[in-house]
Structure 1
Amino acid sequence: MTDFRKELAETASKLATPGKGILAADESTGTIGKKFASINVENTEENRRAYRELLFTTEHLENYISGVILYSETAKQSAKCGTKFIELLKKKGIVSGIKVDQGLKVLPGTNDETATMGLDTLDAMAKEYYGLGCRFAKWRAVLKISTTDGCPSEQAIQENAWGLARYGTICQANGLVPIIEPEILIDGPHSIEVSQKVTERVLASVVKALQENNIFWEGCLLKPNMVTPGSTSGVKATASEIAIRTVTALSRTIPPALVGVFFLSGGQSEEEASVNLNAMNRLEGIRRPWFLSFSYGRALQNTAVKTWAGKAENLAAAQAALLVRAKANGEAQLGKYQGTDDQSAKESLFVDNYKY
């Protein structure tokens, strides 16, 4: 059996390059179809390919993006010039990753809580995409908070923690750095205090499962939610409070050996996602031994896809919009983001029970 540990550590460190983060372009065919419907673009394979080419060929994207998460269809596609997307990204110094989970299924015995599918086919899939040039992977587990019915239940937490751990070690055995993504949905009226407690409880269980499955921490990344109030709580927390509570939750649960934490945006606006990340990287007085960065989808692409609107003549403007957000988040990773007055960047991106 090949020992990939040296390569895994090198890949994780490359992804955790100062001033850079990850572009999540792994929306499923159905999810990107909803995005296209909002701009009146038909959801065809060619339109999906053209849109991903727009993203990946953006000049200077590599200054702020160290990795891109691909959907299985995209990983096998090429730019118009004939160059495979994975090779195109590699030439820019960007590492390609692959979404390997097969979606969510209701977990019997729970109140519509879910488990993530795909472990049975993961070994073969990881081998295939490593061969295609991917060097990291993403697997999304989803938990919800409901103070009225006890969610997340211990059953859901343990099921998802074990699934993430098995996924992690299978990927590492095949040369892929696993991004461990236990997303706790923002949906609901819960307080930020509840969000922090649940986040700590979930992360502690995930870390225990990873340790029991002999994860190689130096070749592993985490993609958690930020600690925020529930979407219908009626309360808006400051960036400072979100930063303190999020980093505190991490410091109480995550081993220092983990290379990097790449936050999901979770329905925050483009600007909120940047400002909150910036606040974390400016914190003083709380230990944060890990690289703190971003792995955003909507919070990087929203303005860009609207600017593009499926029209070739809008390509340059859409790429410029993408670069603006990529640069903002690169600066936020360094704790140097100054904010923007652009109102379009402050548009809420929350979608109830969001699916990839």
Structure 2
Amino acid sequence: MNQEQFDKVKNGKGFIAALDQSGGSTPKALKAYGVEESAYSNEDEMFDMVHEMRTRIITSPAFTSEKILGAILFEQTMDRDIEGKHTGDYLWEEKGVVPFLKVDKGLADEKNGVQLMKPIHDLDETLSRANERHIFGTKMRSVINEPNEEGIKEVIDQQFEVGKQIIAAGLVPIIEPEVNIHSKDKEQCESIMKDEILKHLNNLPEDQNVMLKLSIPTKANFFKELVDHPRVVRVVALSGGYSRKEANEKLRENDGLIASFSRALASDLRHGQTQEQFDAGLKDAIDTIYDASVNKK
């Protein structure tokens, strides 16, 4: 593990940029960016266009380590180049931004009020490539829709089981059990989830650490116990469908919680913008998300 990167993620001021839309969500991400499905005729062309979008974000003068601690990449982005360097190397060597990798294969069908991760059959091979590409950590997402104790326990057990495999490979896992912000029992889901997470954290040995990526809690500072836990490097928040303004307002109420936004980061960016317009839109998003991550009420 790169100690400089570890210290930056743990103690730095800023947030994590989530640039990890994958196969299923890529057409939606491109459409939001102003690229219709008619603009590409196959998956290869689609991924070429999304890499162009991510390259435009990462190479923008607005995208710097002054306000961004890390960036989460999709597997294809990790394997591609930016200005002659693998994306992870470009992020760290040119921008001072710590690279992470999304490793999950999407969500299984809902059962017991939750969606587990689909099996990750090639995880060892992916982690080996991630190490070759100088990736610092990983991210994997599950979803909690209802306060079903059995289902939520299964989500957290699965997350930590995979997390331990990632730790064994020398990487830092981002555990992401997303609570659906539209759940009518969101607060109850958060309470059950937090208890299950704490059970696992309390059983981790001192040389094993994780990050957590969670929906912004209904009750301000409800995750403070997780933020302060000695086995937690950082707790980051997903925007989960909130607008950037709403997500920032809610984030600002939570001490120690920093952003890891995806849609809320790129919501004002469009393919047809001039570079000046694009950079200005990205700068405004970065500035407001940074402010909400470091300046609390």
What range describes the TM-score normalised by the shorter chain of this pair?
Answer: 0.7 to 0.9
Describe the shift of the 1:141–1:196 C-alpha distance in structure 2 as closer, same or farther (beyond 3 A): same
Q: Deviations over 1:196-216 (max 9, x none)?
A: 232021121123134446474
Residues 1:294 and 2:296 aligned together: no
2:160 paired residue among 158, 161, 165: 165
Query: Would you say how many aligned residue pairs link Structure 1 and Structure 2?
Result: 287
Q: Deviations over 1:2-60 (max 9, x none)?
A: xx5xx4x6534312444311000000133121122342443522211110111101114
| Segments ≥4 residues shifted beyond 6 Å | none
1:67 equivalent in structure 2: 70
Describe the shift of the 1:65–1:142 C-alpha distance in structure 2 as closer, same or farther (beyond 3 A): same
Query: What is the RMSD of the two structures over their aligned residues, measured on CA atoms?
Result: 2.4
Residues 1:116 and 2:117 aligned together: yes
Residues 1:37 and 2:31 aligned together: yes
User: Deviation of residue 154 (structure 1)?
Assistant: 2.3
Describe the shift of the 1:275–1:210 C-alpha distance in structure 2 as closer, same or farther (beyond 3 A): same
Residues 1:93 and 2:96 aligned together: yes
User: Deviation of residue 259 (structure 1)?
Assistant: 2.5
Identity value in percent: 25
Structure 2 gap ranges (5+): 41-45
Question: What is the TM-score with the length of structure 2 in the denominator?
Answer: 0.87
2:86 paired residue among 84, 87, 94: 84
Q: Distance in 2 between matches of 1:330 and 1:18?
A: 12
Corresponding letter in the other structure for 1:247: N
Contact 2:244 2:265 in 1 (8 A): yes
Residues 1:197 and 2:198 aligned together: no
Q: Distance in 2 between matches of 1:96 and 1:35?
A: 20
Q: Deviations over 1:120-168 (max 9, x none)?
A: 43222112111111111001111102xxxxxx32221121111111121
Give the 5 Å matches for 1:148-297: 152-188=147-183, 190=184, 194-212=185-203, 214=205, 216=207, 219-228=209-218, 245-251=219-225, 255-281=229-255, 291-297=256-262
Q: Distance in 1 between matches of 2:24 and 2:140?
A: 17
Q: Distance in 2 between matches of 1:302 and 1:215?
A: 39
Contact 1:172 1:178 in 2 (8 A): yes
Corresponding letter in the other structure for 1:293: I
Greater Rg, structure 1 or structure 2? Answer: 1
2:59 equivalent in structure 1: 57
Question: What is the TM-score with the length of structure 1 in the denominator?
Answer: 0.74
Residues 1:133 and 2:134 aligned together: yes
Residues 1:335 and 2:266 aligned together: no
Structure 1 gap ranges (5+): 146-151, 229-244, 282-290, 338-356
